[in-house]
Each structure stands twice: as C-alpha cells, then as structure tokens.
Structure 1
Amino acid sequence: MGRQLWGGERTDLDAYLQRVGFTGALEPTARTLRELHRAHVTAVPFENLEIVLGRPVPLDLESLQAKLVRQRRGGYCFEHTLLFAAVLERLGFAVTGLGARVRMGSGEKRRAATHALLRVDVEGRPWLADVGFGGEGLIEPVPLEEGAEVCQGGWTFTVAAEAQGVRVLRSLHPDGWFDLHAFTEDARYPEDYEVMNHYISTHPRSPFTTRPMAQRTEDDVRRSLVGSVMVTSRPDGSHRRREIADGELPDVLEEFFGIELGADDRAALRRVRA
C-alpha cells in the first residue's frame, strides 16, 4: 500500500476506538460513519488551550494522537478533522478535505476560510462530516444534499445552497434557521490546513488567541466556555450562564468538558487568567 493522504496507515486504531468508546462494526458503511462521528464528537472536546498558553499546534498525526487520544485532551477544528480523516482512511472510507467560512449568524458577510471539515463518500452518497466545529456543530454527519433536514437528538440541521457552488450548514433555532458556516466542495489538503492553522493560532485578531475556549455537544445539552463565562444550552432555546472564577477554570474544564490536565497545565492556566 502506498502512502495515504491522511496518514491512515499510521493510525493507532485500537487506542482511538478506546478513546471515543466505539465498539461497533468497522466496515466502511454509512452506519459506521454516523456512529463513529457521534462517538468522536461526544467524547473528544473542542478546546484551544495550547494556543492560549502560547504553544504551537502541531498537526502531524503522531502529535494529534498523543494529545487527543493518549493525553485525553481536546483540540480545535484542524486537530479534530485531521485525526478523524486518518481514522476514516484507515477504515477504507473515501475522504475529501473541505474548507469553510464561519458565519455564526452573520449572514453572507465574507470571512476567510478558517474551518476544516470533510466530505465522505460511502454507499454511493456524499456526507458532510464535521467533528471539529464545537458547541453548535453536528453530532452525526448529514447528507451533502440541498434541503435535507436531519434531527440529531434535540438539534436539527440542514444544508442550503447559494450561488457559485456555495453551501451553508444551518442549525434550527427557536426563531428560525441559523447559518453556521459556508463552504464549497473544492478539495483541501493537509498542507492547506497547515496554513490555516498557522493563521488562526497566531494572528492577534484571531478569536482563539486571546481567551480560553471549550465546547462540548450532546443529544440534549451544549456547553460552551468562552473566557470566564460558561453557557449551558438546551434544544428548547433555554440557556444558563455561569461566571467562572480564575481558580475554578481547571476544575470546570475537567468536570464539564472532560479535559484532563496535568499539574503544570493547571498552574499555567491559572497564571493566564490571573
């Protein structure tokens, strides 16, 4: 076998499956894709702590496996997406990298493409897999088809079409559809993600460089930490807001987001927040 694009041949599959708690069938089917996507999203949190601590964010597969799998940490979109792509490739799925422009309700205002996600072709059908978007994101993949509405737990999603091949992933809020991000089906490669990752992890105006973030989504609850505020959201639109004191941050990250931190990292985060 020749070198695979996403490094699937170097994936520690057993360790990954144990990390996400997946015990299902491993054949490259739509069912496996849905179940594995759900397992990843609900087990591996979204977080930007390395960036806030002034550390680089390496995207080579060994670094990703060391952090997200063996250290039981989380990461942001590039880390999640590259690890998931390698796992899918190892299992025999056809995977294409994509890039998206985050909207988060901003309408069609153009922003740089700074989000990584995947197209996965299986059983003659294309799917949108997006394990690294965070608290508003998918639990399972959705069909890459215009207008299909998919309910996942208490959350509903659709893919809408715009001009020039642009597609928009939307979630249903109590007051209507909410744009999450816009993307095209132009293929992106690990080298493209390296460039995006450098910009978003180092630019002073990047939202990821100035404050800690953590997010986790389940069927009936979303938790999002931004700076010193944690918001717990429910599908009915209700929210509960909680202010996090500086000394609480490491314990909150572990208790509510499943982020396991060593003593040095806990102390460093307290210094960042001081």
Structure 2
Amino acid sequence: MGAWNMDAQLYLQRIGYTGKQDGSAEALAELQERHLRSVPYENLDILQGIPLSLEPKHIYEKIVVRGRGGYCFELNALFGWLLRELGYDVTDCFARFWRDETDLPPKRRHHVLLVRIGDSRYLCDVGVGGIVPKRPLLLLEGLEQPQGGECYRLDRDADFGWFLMERKESEWLRLFSFTEERQLAKDYLMASYWCEHAPDSIFRSVKMLAIQTEEGRNTIAEDEFRLFRKDGVHTFKPDNEAEYAEALRTYFGIVLDGTTSK
C-alpha cells in the first residue's frame, strides 16, 4: 500500500465538518457528531478475511480516501489523530465493554479518547456501533448528561476506573469502563488481533454495521437493513447481491471492491 498524504482538511471534508477549528469544546462536540453521521461502524473486512492495519496512514487511506468505515481500533485511532492535528490534547485509553454482558467481560477490547480543554476533560468515542453518546461527555463523576432522548453518567469504581452508565427507563446500566492510563498505538495491536482472529470473537461471526443519521440510525442485522426513524423502524432485505451493494452505498456510503459476501 502506498504512502498517503494525511491531510486533516480532507478528513474534515469526509465528515462534512465546516465549523470553527478553534480547539473549543463546541467544535469538539460538532466534530464527534459529524463523524458519527458520516463514517460507519463496520467489520466487513474482518468477515472477508482482509487483514486490518492500525497504521495511521493505512486507516486514513481506508476511511478518508476510500470512504469506508471501521471498528473502534480504527475509528478512534484516526479520530484521535485528527483532533491532535486540530490542536487538542488527546489521551488514548483502553476500555472494557459491559453492555449486554451477564458476567465480567473477559478482556479490554475497546479504544476510547480523553480530550483535555483547559481545566476540563471530555470522554470522546466514535467507535461503537450501538446507541452511544453523540457528543463528548464531561468527565465529572455523577453528573447526569442528557443527549436528546438518552442520558448518560460517569461513575468511579475502585477496580475498573470510570464506568460510562446509560439510563434505560429508570435504571442505570453499565456501557463500558475505562482507566486513565495513557496507551500507545502498539498497545492496541494484541486486542485488535484477537478481535480479527479468535474463534469466539463476535467480529468474525456477526455482520455489524451502523451509522447515525439526523432522524436516528441505520444498522444491519443478519443482512436485514434496519432504518430507525422517528415514525418507527423500517426493515428490508435485498433480494440479490446487486441490490445489497446498492443498499450499502445508499445507507452507509460504502462501496466494496469486488463482490460482497452475504
């Protein structure tokens, strides 16, 4: 793969960001929201046996140049690079995913970002395919932070560091936990390799695509396209490979090289 010129301005065009580049919390929030609405969460390369690279220039080529998406180790790595290019103070952290787990999650397999602006720090994450905060969360214990119809809170734990909590009706549930230890790019290689190659890795067995929209989000579950809108959920299954490829392009902006594997 050739060397690509990593141009932050082309990245901003990719996510449709035209706002200020002043290092402010307001700009950070818009950058995160624009990213979630422009770059899909997807694991198609893993399912097709295409090796992933966590080298920044390779992720940039995939996401910015070719218009693809990725999963957390790709998405948050590149978003962190963009934020640094724009003058933000960014710390890469490891997280343990708890949503839908009935027991202690077996490993830390999620990449998140902490961004310092003045005396405040914010949790940023563009690498989850499910319902997640659309805008950065102030790193402040116990503060309820509503976002539209959702609400989040950050709690402290003696063993697991910070817990990102999400409110479901009247109950607070764990989404993921993370510690503040700064991670290097190489620290994510083993976890990403496990996600790609372990026989029991969900990334190898289930197709996962999601992207935020102004009205909700688009997802795929077992080749069924699900379009979440204010008036409900619209679902359909393409009848053939050509229709599938067109739906990928229309609802996720993804154009795959060659044929798709359904």
Do they superpose with TM above 0.5?
A: yes
Distance 1:108 1:125, change over 3 A: farther
CA–CA distance in structure 1, aligned partners of residues 52 and 121 of structure 2: 30
Instruction: Note if contact 1:38-1:140 (Cα within 8 Å) is conserved in structure 2.
Output: yes
Measured after TM superposition, the shift of residue 169 of structure 1 is 1.5
Using the aligned pairs only, state the percent identity.
31
For 2:60, the aligned partner's letter is Q
* Aligned equivalent of 1:109: 104
Partner of 1:3: none
**What residue is the counterpart of 2:195 in the other structure?**
200
| 2:22 pairs with 1:27 | yes
Gaps of 5+ in 2: none
Q: Is the 2:160–2:177 contact (alpha carbons within 8 Å) kept by the matching residues of 1?
A: no
2:148 and 2:66 mapped to 1: Cα distance? Answer: 29
**Aligned equivalents of 1:143, 1:164: Cα separation in 2:** 21
- The CA deviation string for residues 225-251 of structure 1, in whole angstroms up to 9 with x for no partner, is 133233444689x65554555634322
Distance 1:160 1:218 in 2: 29
Q: Is the 8 A contact 2:93 2:183 kept in 1?
A: yes
Aligned CA distance change for structure 1 residues 106 and 240 (closer, same or farther; 3 Å) = farther
In the alignment, which residue of structure 1 is the partner of 2:150? 155
Matched-pair contact (CA < 8 Å) for 1:152–1:219: no
Which stretches of structure 1, 4 residues or longer, exceed 6 Å deviation after superposition? Answer: none
Distance 1:246 1:197, change over 3 A: farther
Query: By how many angstroms is 1:64 displaced?
Result: 1.1
The farther-off stretch of 203-212 and 150-159 is 150-159
User: Which structure has the highest helix share of the two?
Assistant: 1
For 1:156 and 1:260, how far apart are their aligned partners in 2? 34
Question: Deviation of residue 261 (structure 1)?
Answer: 2.7
| Residue segments in structure 1 that go unaligned for 5+ positions in a row | 1-9
Residues in 1 aligned to 2:80 and 2:107: alpha-carbon distance in whole angstroms: 22
Change (3 A) 1:188 1:84: same
Distance 1:97 1:201 in 2: 21
Q: Which residue in 1 is equivalent to 2:55?
A: 60
1:256 paired residue number: 251
Match of 1:140 among 123, 135, 138: 135
- TM-score, reference length from structure 1: 0.85
Moved more, 88-97 or 153-162: 153-162
* Cα drift, residue 180 of structure 1: 1.7
- Deviation of 1:141 after TM superposition, in Å, equals 0.8
- Deviations, residues 93-140 of structure 1 (Å, cap 9, x unaligned): 111111111111325623200000111111210100101112322211
